[in-house]
Amino acid sequence: MLDELVEDMSANTILFDLDGTLTDPKLGITRCIQYALTELGHTPPEADELDWCIGPPIKDSFSQLLKTLDETIITQAISLYRCRFSTIGLFENTLYPQIRETLKAIRFAGYKTFVATSKPYIYATQIIEYFGLSPLFDGVYGSELDGVRSIKADLIHHILVTENILPGDVVMVGDRKHDIIGAKSHNLTTIGVTYGYGTEQELKTHGADFIAHSLDEIAKLLIHSKKP
């Protein structure tokens, strides 16, 4: 059954989420959240209690953490978060093993590759450049600092229009439900990865077409589908 599904996949473009898919950003994100909450007079949760904040738009995370919808308070928290993230936090980050080899293999198989992250574009590009991954992507797409395109569905729509590609030609690879929900709103094929911060149950519940437990499995799924 899996082989039949893969053989039906006619994609030529792969969108990769960033946090929890290409890199493990836990240290930087959790420390910056803790910093912002402390500056606002709150006792922050331990880092391991903030894993759920990795992936969703940061505005949503702070709204839940602070238990408020007050835009002024949320904006202040984001400003504090970014004060540390822009200079320190984005570099407190590690590549998942085999990322370069996997991307090279996928591109060698004939796919175009793009980064599609809810993280602001200005930070996403710095991270991709910092790790020397720029040559392995045809483009990097992220949100604006004001929150525009932080919702994955909006971001994917922007990519499809800007790059002039059809939904049927695209596969979204990501570790959280937001990646799957955003992709499915445009009828994209999806690969949910379990080595990041989402569970297999979360990914399946929201309709992931395939589940990959490692980077090797992503490559095998995509490269197999390219075989004549």
Distances (CA, A) of 19 to 6, 40, 43, 44, 192: 25, 25, 25, 21, 13
The span from the CA of 75 to the CA of 18, in Å, is: 23
Active site residues: 17
Give the pLDDT confidence score for residue 55 in this predicted structure: 85
Burial of 227 (0-12, 13-18, 19+ CB in 10 A): exposed
Asked whether the CA dihedral 49, 16, 195, 209 is positive or negative, the reply is positive
Residue 156: pLDDT above 90?
Answer: yes
CATH architecture observed for domain 2-24+95-225: 3-Layer(aba) Sandwich (3.40)
The answer to whether domain 2-24+95-225 and domain 26-91 are alike in fold is no
Give the pLDDT confidence score for residue 218 in this predicted structure: 94
- Whole-model pTM: value is 0.91
Question: Mean pLDDT throughout 64-77?
Answer: 97
Within 13 A of 66's CA, how many CA atoms are on the CB side?
25
Place of tokens 């998942």: 96
- Assign 9 a pLDDT band (cuts: 50, 70, 90): low
**Structural element, H or E, at residue 72:** helix 71-85
Fold category of 26-91 in CATH: DNA polymerase; domain 1 (1.10.150)
Tokens at 133, concatenated:
């991954």
Question: Mean pLDDT throughout 31-55?
Answer: 96
Q: What does the pLDDT look like over 79-109, one tens digit per residue? A: 999 999 999 999 999 999 999 999 999 999 9
Give the pLDDT confidence score for residue 121 in this predicted structure: 96
DSSP state of 99: H
Distances (CA, A) of 207 to 14, 135, 167, 170, 201: 18, 31, 16, 16, 10
Residue 1: pLDDT above 50?
Answer: no
Q: Where are the domains of the chain?
A: 2-24+95-225, 26-91
- Which of these ranges, 7-11, 12-16, 52-56, 147-151, has the smallest mean pLDDT? 7-11
Q: What is the dihedral of CA 193, 199, 200, 202, to 10 degrees?
A: -110
Tokens at 28, concatenated:
């930087």
Short-list 132, 128, 165, 151, CA closest to 59 = 151
Give the pLDDT confidence score for residue 224 in this predicted structure: 74
- Tell me how far the alpha carbon of residue 83 is from its chain's centroid: 21
**Rounded percentage of the chain residues whose pLDDT exceeds 70:** 94
